[in-house]
Amino acid sequence: MYICLCHGVTDRDIREAAENGVTSMRQLGKELGVGRQCGRCACHAREILRETQKTDYLAMANMLAQPA
């Protein structure tokens, strides 16, 4: 789904950027242009970015909970 229409950025693009180390909206703006024009996408983009960070945290917790 398109999140940033001004720059043609999808939710998948944002998740991919997060996997490659993007952790803030500032970095996302530099990498993909998200929120740099009209700004309407900023709230939803931030939500997706936080979602990916939660997912990483859960994956790490699950990995630590598994027996060696």
Contact footprint for ligand FES (CB under 6 A): 4-7, 34-41
Say which amino acid occupies 36. Answer: R
Least spacing, CB of residue 55 vs ligand FES, in Å: 23
Least spacing, CB of residue 23 vs ligand FES, in Å: 19
Phi/psi of residue 2, nearest 5 degrees: -75, 130
Tell me whether residue 13 or residue 52 sits nearer to ligand FES (CB atom).
13
Other C-beta atoms closer than 10 Å to the C-beta of 7 total 16
Least spacing, CB of residue 57 vs ligand FES, in Å: 27
